[in-house]
Amino acid sequence: MKQYRNYINGEWVESARRFDDVNPVDGTVVAQVHEADREAVDSAIRAGHAAVRGAWGRTTVAERAAILCRIADEIDRRYDDFLAAEIADTGKPVAMASTIDIPRGAANFRVFADILKTAPLDTFQTDLPDGARALNYAVRKPLGVVGVISPWNLPLLLLTWKIAPALACGNAVVAKPSEETPGTATLLAEVMHTVGVPPGVFNLVHGFGPDSAGEFITTNDDIDAITFTGESRTGSAIMRAAATHVKPVSFELGGKNAAIIFADCDFEKMIDGMMRAVFLHSGQVCLCAERVYVERPIYNRFLDAFVERVKALKLGWPQDGTTGMGPLISAEHRDKVLSYFKLAREEGAQVLVGGGVPKFGDARDAGFWVEPTIITGLPQTARCIKEEVFGPICHVSPFDTEAEAIALANDTKYGLSATTWTGNLNRGHRVSEAMRVGLSWVNSWFLRDLRTPFGGVGLSGIGREGGMHSLNFYSELTNVCVRIDQEAVS
């Protein structure tokens, strides 16, 4: 049995309390995970501070950028190991993990290495009344020790999305991956060790939220900043903990994202895009569209085509390159999603396809599967329209005017992403800019430039990540002001 240990101050640390890492495809146990206690977390935070006060705190931009590139190279070298761990932990199809998760995990380090090397800083010169000048320039400094808490849906991608810029800015990190997906995080610790990241700079602690590693990180007085991706309720709890000591926080939380489809769209490209937007990773992506609004002239055509595509979606073993959708992450999450399938029927929804649990007649029947599901017929006030399901389900509604579509899409307490499909470029600009979200796509979905701002509004989060937005969050800017007197004329 594999053992996933904690990595603290450059050493592998075992613990007495352990829990199972379960493969969601068939319910088998992948590894035993060592749960960090409070003392282990405190030790990791102390090690981080020692590293920042020591040699790591004196590294140059060029030195840190070189380390980030070595980390990326080592992830590439161990690509097969990362791919196997990602699939075992999440059950996602190899077609997704091999093209998105692992490549992006390495790319995050390279991108932030490049951004760091060219990151600008403000410089201003002020002419003073007495003939002297003032030169103001900014200096970028690390925050200190950053607590990184990452989710289970894109475990390597979203962990590295936070760790790479944090290290680039000279911080130390104490990272807690989701208890559901500890495998790639443990491999990342091995990579850090192999490439020579100094002890204490990267620390990994396994565990849960309340009364476990997550709480021990967020309530520790010596954590200097917290970044979290996950449920809105958990983000609220972390914010309360951080408020006591006024610590900076960056949250990417839930979403109830909308898709708006106009009759003048490229229909086939739109159908392809919407299959991804609704069912990628079984709908377990924060950016997935759970509310679909279709202009009435193509409403029935859309439903017919979309249902047929969903019926053809292959639920299979993740190693099979033709598999289109995998399981949900856990039995608990499957129960949650199934409860929304039941609620939809109780609220009066018409289930066009799916709505249950598939039967395979093999080991997959012990896994955590549900059917991809399309529903219609609910009012805008229904809970299934208002609450995030985070599964392979969408509700489809018709609309008649552009203004109506915008109002329906914005009728939510969330505000993470939206996607608009239209052949009218002017309309595409108008509608996408009118969306009350952090990310708004036109004729595409999940198309990302890592330099651009990423984040949400409302219950979907606080702050922005990506490019300079990440570097500015993970660093403290000090303004240096120097008075330069006019040289005396002889």
Q: Cα–Cα distance between 137 and 207 in angstroms, integer?
A: 43
Residues of the chain with CATH 3.40.605.10: 2-253+460-479
Per residue, the 3-state secondary structure of the chain, as one string, reads CEEECEEECCEEECCCCEEEEECCCCCCEEEEEEECCHHHHHHHHHHHHHHHHCHHHHCCHHHHHHHHHHHHHHHHHCHHHHHHHHHHHHCCCHHHHHHHHHHHHHHHHHHHHHHHHHCCCCEEEEECCCCCEEEEEEEEEECCEEEEECCCCCHHHHHHHHHHHHHHCCCEEEEECCCCCCHHHHHHHHHHHHHCCCCCCEEECECCCCCCHHHHHHCCCCCCEEEEECCHHHHHHHHHHHHCCCCCEEEECCCCEEEEECCCCCHHHHHHHHHHHHHHHHHCCCCCEEEEEEEHHHHHHHHHHHHHHHHCCCECCCCCCCCCECCCCCHHHHHHHHHHHHHHHHCCCEEEECCCCCCCCCHHHHCCCCCCEEEECCCCCCHHHHCCCCCCEEEEEEECCHHHHHHHHCCCCCCCEEEEECCCHHHHHHHHHHCCCCEEEECCCCCCCCCCCECCCHHHEECCECHHHHHHHCEEEEEEEEEECCCCCC
Q: Which two tokens stand for residue 265?
A: 């769209």
Which entry of 74, 179, 252, 388 is annotated as an active-site residue? 252
CATH 3.40.605.10 fits 2-253+460-479, yes or no: yes
Given this model, what pLDDT does residue 242 score? 87
pTM attached to this predicted model? 0.96
293 Cβ contact list (under 8 Å, min separation 6): 258, 259, 260, 261, 396, 397, 398, 399, 405, 408, 409
For residues 293 and 402, the answer to whether their CB atoms sit within 8 Å is no
What sign for the dihedral angle of Cα 157, 158, 160, 165? positive
Read off the amino acid at residue 355.
Answer: G
Distance of alpha carbon 48 from alpha carbon 142, whole angstroms: 12
Residues 6+ apart with CB under 8 A from 199: 9, 10, 11, 47, 51
pLDDT in tens, the chain (490 residues): 999 999 999 999 999 999 999 999 999 999 999 999 999 999 999 999 999 999 999 999 999 999 999 999 999 999 999 999 999 999 999 999 999 999 999 999 999 999 999 999 999 999 999 999 999 999 999 999 999 999 999 999 999 999 999 999 999 999 999 999 999 999 999 999 999 999 999 999 999 999 999 999 999 999 999 999 999 989 998 998 888 888 999 999 999 999 999 999 999 999 999 999 999 999 999 999 999 999 999 999 999 999 999 999 999 999 999 999 999 999 999 999 999 999 999 999 999 999 999 999 999 999 999 999 999 999 999 999 999 999 999 999 999 999 999 999 999 999 999 999 999 999 999 999 999 999 999 999 999 999 999 999 999 999 999 999 999 999 999 999 999 998 766 6
CATH number of 258-442: 3.40.309.10
Q: Which of 203, 405, 459, 127 is nearest to 292 (CA)?
A: 405
Tokens encoding 4: 């996933």
Start and end residues for every CATH 3.40.309.10 domain found in the chain: 258-442
Q: How far apart are CA 424 and CA 273, in angstroms?
A: 17
From CA 232, how far away is CA 224, in angstroms rounded? 21
CA–CA gap between residue 371 and residue 391 (Å, rounded): 10
Q: How many CA atoms lie within 13 A of 403 on its CB side?
A: 0
- The reply to whether 252 belongs to the active site is yes
Tell me, what's the pLDDT at 140?
96
